[in-house]
Each structure stands twice: as C-alpha cells, then as structure tokens.
Structure 1
Amino acid sequence: MKIACVILLVSLSGCDGNIGSGPLSTNAIPTEFASNGERIYLTGVSVSGKPISARDGDSAMGMHRQMHGSGCATCHGVEREGRRLMPRFWIKAPALTGNALFGDDDHKQDSSGHGDHGIYDAISLRRAITEGVDPAGEPLNQAMPRWSMNESDLNDLIAYLQKSHAR
C-alpha cells in the first residue's frame, strides 16, 4: 500500500509532464551545441571544459543540482519551457523563452508563483543569473542558484537566452 501511495504521489507531482531533465524527463540533453551559451545552458559546462560554479541559497536544491546535472536546463527544461523541480514538485522553475524574458508574455503572477516580473534586458538578466534578483531588484526564489562564470561565458549565455527573441 505504501508503495502504491508513493507511485501515485510521484505520478501526480508531474501530471503536467514538466518534471525537469532528470531520469523521469522526456527531454534528453543534446550532445552537440550551436554555441557556447547553449552548451552552458544545457550542461553547466563551458566550451573550455570548465564547469560553471554556483552558490545555492537552498542547500537541498544545491544537492539536487549536483546529483542531476548543473545546467540551467536541469530546472528550466531543454526547450526553456519551465519545469517542476524534483523532488520538490510544488516548485516550478519559470520559462526562459525569449517572450517570457523579453517579450509579450503576460508578466502577471501565475499559479506557480512566477511571472510577476518586468521585462528583462541584458543587464537585468545578468543580475538575475549572478545575483538572483529580478528586473526590479526583488530576490528570486532561493531554489535559483547564483551562478559564477567569466565575462565571456556569461555574455555567451545571455546571447543564447536572447537569441529567440527578435527585437
């Protein structure tokens, strides 16, 4: 009976199909990349082979990130669509699509507690990645790592996140 309850709970936790890029995900991480920014987003490793480091505000999420990979896609999804975080299925990492960050998406609060932010630009996105604050300077969820990388890698990641949004 306990096993059935656990299976049911795990099944329901990902009922929207967005459960990250771990072993239960249907989105596999590619092995070839169009840019260094894409490589960093998907794997957390620069083209130089150096892993991108992070400070975690939430030690449990940091442990999860270390176990399941350390790229942005681990939480935000391979297609940048946003994902539920496992084992904390009640937390949903927001979408990082061009429209969600820079464009026409509705930036009002949604049911996951995300989306209540202004439109990002390159400077505010840099601060979100490295300092964990939104465009208004408000703190992001503690589950969001505060990433540390060299200037070139950070510029490549920002360019990758901006590329799908035509200005």
Structure 2
Amino acid sequence: MKEIVHVMFSREQVENRIKEMADQINEEYGMKPLRLICILKGSVFFSCELAKHLKMPVTIDFMSVSSYGNSTSSSGKITIKKDLEQSIQGVDCLLIEDIIDTGYTLSMLKPMLLERKPESFKICTLLNKPDRREVEMEADYTGFSIPDEFVVGYGLDYAQKYRNLPFVGTLEFIEE
C-alpha cells in the first residue's frame, strides 16, 4: 500500500493563520503572563510557532494524555501519561491542541485542569473537525475548521510519520 499526501493548507496558510491567532491572544491578554499547556505529541509544532508570536511573558508545560488506550475508540476515561510539572493554580492558562475531533479527550481533561484552579483557562486548537464531534467541546481559538478527513503534517501523524511536514495535508492510501 502506497501513501500519498495532498496539501490541504500550505505552510504559508498555516503560518499566517497562527500569526492571526497570536494577534487575538495578544490583544486579549496584553502583557499578563500566560502558561501554554502543550498536549503531546501532536501540538508541539503548533505550540512552538504560536509562542514565537506571543508578546506577553510565556511559560510552557507539557501533558501527554490518552482516552483510547490500545483501541481505536475512546475508553470513556482519560489516562495521563505525563502530567504538568508546575502548578497552574492562579495562573492564566491556554491549553494547546493540534486537533479537536470527537471532543472526548478535552471533555475529560478540561474539568480535571479546572479543578486545579487556574486564574483563567482557554483552549486553542490548530484544527477543528466539527463533523466528528460526539461531545460538546469548542475551542476559544481555532485555526481552521476541516471536513471529516484524515490529516497529517504540522505535528499530526499517521503511525508516527508525517509530523514534520511543514503543511497540513490529507493522507490517501493507494493499492499497488
């Protein structure tokens, strides 16, 4: 089986949209310090690019979470593989996700993080796939809304491949 990637959003489109999102965040927070919570592994590229354009003092922490285990469907509970290293109590937080798909993971993660009493808590996603939503979950900042297609690049992967592509693309499988 051969894999072919088709460009959905070019490098320029992605970078321009991230700058626009950063401008929105800069306007809203001003110079108030902001903690970025990067959800591993997919949002690393997006988090780093976004952080470059933020003007306020920024700290970054990382989480690795799963609601799938070894399955392709959600288990209905969240497993934290790597938790935050710093407390978020009293801190303005921006959770950064690569894509919101069914919404299950974020619907479980958000209340868990809110229990830690941040000063404020918002969600920023590069991609939103509303046609796949199974639970109510929306981001405060969204890069692009996309149709129900499997996407790779800019941190998103297929079997750990394609994360390093500088664009977002769809993946097509062709029988050889």
Q: TM-score, normalised by structure 2?
A: 0.30
TM-score, normalised via structure 1 length? 0.31
More relative contact order in 1 or in 2 (CA 8 Å, sep 6+)? 2
* Structure with the higher strand share, 1 or 2: 2
User: Which has the larger helix fraction?
Assistant: 1
